[in-house]
Structure 1
Amino acid sequence: MSDPTSPIGWGIQLAKLWTSSGQTFPVRVKDIALEVTKARFPEPVGCVIPHGISGIDGMLSKRQKKKDWCISYDETVTVPGRINFTIAHELGHFLLHRQQRDTFQCGQLQMLEYDSPESRRIEAQANTFASYLLMPRNDFDAQVDGHELSFELLGHCAERYETSLTATALKWLEFTTEAAMLVVADHDEFICWTYCSQAARRIGAYKPPGEMLPAGVLEEIRSKALDARKFRRVAPGVWHPSEEAIESVIVSDQFEQMIFLVRFPFALSVDHEEEPESDAFSDLAEKIQGLR
């Protein structure tokens, strides 16, 4: 079996290796990191251990004396699924970038917004690899096909793959044919970032960072208790100038954020020039600080 050269190629190959061996989800990234690299590389990943360093989600370090590599992670992280994604992210650095340097330190900031374009590129690649390893497209399709997309359904997928709700939602937006977007706002009611599916981009759906949440949305969230299981039909002019939307929202008290899932199921497709293919984790690396 030849080694892939891209983050997507590596993610797909290792996910297939995991499922074809009869294993179930979630993918145990630690096992893959130790066993696969031992079989394929002269200087493999020799250990995957907690490091107890606050502010550093994950690290990949070369151990010169042992002639191998160590993946370590912050075991105190409380966000469900974040540790699994972090280990996968560091494995991505090993597979794709270990020839470039001997140490990688990845915190919330570094994962998506390093200072240099090159650092942003390799962080985005590690995120992309992790998403394809942990959330294989064919299995994700099997979980969501025939169901109306909701935070509850995305939560089921997040539990299955041991990933965060945000990472899971971004993966769905990456491949869905539905016009939909994820909008994250702070508790001051300003938008932090938006990520749109390709179909949503084609109808011009987008809310820029720094903009206030729409007035119709603010009235609703101030007057009612929010329930992620409930949908709200929203008139044109709120989330989109001319399209009706279906909205649901959850509140993250830990990160002081509101996360909106906005779908445009009644939108008619509009012919545009073909857009270059991209993935959510690569694109979002240019826009936000903090993913998992």
Structure 2
Amino acid sequence: MSDPTTPAAWGIQLAKLWLASGQGFPVNVETLALEVTKQRFSEPVGIVMPHGIDGIDGMLSKRKKHKDWCISYDKKVVVPGRINFTIAHELGHYLLHRTLHETFQCGQAEMMDYDSLESKRLESQANTFSSYLLMPRNDFDAQIKGQEISFELLGRCAERYQTSLTATVLKWLEFTEEAAMLVVADHDEFICWSYCSQSAKLLRAYKPPGESVPPSVLEHLRANLSGSRTARRVEPGVWHPTEEAIESAIISDQFEQIIFLIRFPFASAPNHEEEPESDSLTELTEKAQGSGS
């Protein structure tokens, strides 16, 4: 079996290999990393283990004495989805980038503020690999077919794939034809980042970092804290100047975030020829690795 040449192709190939071996979801990335690299490469991944290095979510390092590589992850992380995604991310670095560096240290600071375009490219490729390995498109489609998209539905997918909810929503936004976006705000009620599906991009629904969460949205949240996940219909002028939206939210005290899923099901279909396709997972999935929700 020849080695793939792109992050997505590597993820697809290893996901197929995992399923062909009679295994189901979630993909056990630790087992896959140890077995596949031992069979294919002279310097395989020899160990996957927790570490105690503050600020480093995951790390890939070459062990010259053992003539192999070590994948490690923050032992203080208790969310299984974050651990699984982190191991997959470091496996992506091994498969794609091990000839470039002998050590990769991936922390939240590195993911939010890249030192260079090159480091951003490498991190993005590792995240793209992770998404295709853990959440194969055909299986994802089967889980949501014929159902209305909601945090609850995508949360069940996250449990199936052992990924964070944020990473799972971003994967859906990558391929959906629906106009929708994910918005993450801090508890000071300012937007940290947002990501739009291709159709939502054509609607120009993007919300920039630093912008305040709409006042009517905050008022609704304060009055309905127990039912924030319940979707509600909001008028034009709230999330888009001219389009109504369906809004639902999750308040995460642990990660000091408010996460919004905004859908525009009433918008007319945009002309997709107006704007080229983009690789969504290379831009924002790194945020999802750092979000436990």
TM-score surpassing 0.5?
A: yes
Residue in 2 aligned with 1:181? 181
Worse-superposed segment, 126-135 or 52-61: 52-61
1:209: Cα distance to partner?
1.0
Counterpart CA distance in 1 for 2:198 and 2:169 is 14
What is the rounded CA distance, in whole Å, between the counterparts of 2:154 and 2:288 in structure 1? 21
Q: Distance in 1 between matches of 2:80 and 2:226?
A: 21
* Structure 2 unaligned spans of 5+: none
Which residue is equivalent to 1:51? 51
Q: Say if 1:112 and 1:124, in contact at 8 Å, map to a contact too.
A: no
What is the aligned partner in structure 1 of residue 256 from structure 2? 256
Confirm or deny: 8 A CA contact 1:60 1:104 kept in the other structure: yes
Structure 1 equivalent of residue 276 of structure 2 = 276
Q: Which TM-score applies when normalising by structure 1? A: 0.95
- Quick check: 240-249 or 207-216, which moved more? 207-216
Cα separation, partners in 2 of 1:84 and 1:47, compared to 1, 3 Å: same
Residues in 1 aligned to 2:176 and 2:195: alpha-carbon distance in whole angstroms? 13
Query: Structure 1: 5+ residue runs without aligned partners?
Result: none
Does structure 2 conserve the Cα–Cα contact (< 8 Å) formed by 1:114 and 1:120? yes
Which residue number corresponds to residue 95 of structure 1? 95
Write the distance in 2 (CA, Å) between the matches of 1:85 and 1:246: 29
On the 8 A contact 2:182/2:260 being kept in 1, the answer is yes
Separation in structure 1 between the aligned mates of residue 157 and residue 115 of structure 2, nearest angstrom: 33
C-alpha RMSD of matched pairs (Å)? 1.8
Give 1:236's aligned residue.
236
User: Structure 1 residues 288, 36: closer, same or farther in 2, change over 3 A?
Assistant: closer
Partner of 2:197: 197
2:239 corresponds to which letter in structure 1? Answer: W
Change (3 A) 1:200 1:250: same
Distance of 1:288 and 1:52 partners within structure 2: 21
Aligned to 2:123: 123
CA distance in 2, matches of 1:289, 1:36: 23
Q: What TM-score, normalized to structure 2?
A: 0.95
Q: 1:19 to 1:166 in 2, by over 3 A?
A: same
Aligned to 2:7: 7
CA deviation after TM superposition for structure 1 residue 75, in Å = 2.0
- Letter matched to residue 191 of structure 1: I
CA deviation string 1:158-210 (max 9, x = no partner) = 11111111111111111111100001111111111110000111112111111
C-alpha separation between the residues in 2 aligned to 1:72 and 1:145?
A: 36
Q: What SS does the aligned partner of 1:81 have?
A: helix
Name the structure 1 match of 2:212: 212
DSSP 3-state at the match of 1:189? coil
1:81 paired residue number: 81
Paired position in structure 1 for 2:71: 71
Deviation larger for 109-118 or 84-93: 109-118
Partner SS state of residue 87, structure 2: helix
Residue 226 of structure 1 deviates from its aligned partner by 4.2
Deviation at 1:109, TM superposition (A): 1.8
Give, in whole Å, the separation in 2 of the partners of 1:160 and 1:228.
23
Give the total of aligned pairs.
292
Range moving further from structure 2, 258-267 or 273-282: 273-282
Matched residue SS, 1:91: helix
* Alpha-carbon offset, residue 291 of structure 1: 5.3
Mean Cα deviation higher: 238-247 or 281-290: 281-290
Cα distance in 2 between the residues matched to 1:227 and 1:72? 38
Secondary structure in structure 1 of the residue aligned to 2:225? coil
Do the aligned residues in 2 keep the contact of 1:50 with 1:74 (CA within 8 Å)? yes
The answer to whether the 8 Å contact 1:226/1:250 transfers is no
* Whole-angstrom CA distance in 2 between matches of 1:287 and 1:205: 19
**Structure 1 stretch displaced more, 103-112 or 164-173:** 103-112
Q: Answer whether contact 2:166 2:288 (CA < 8 A) is retained.
A: no
Identity %: 73
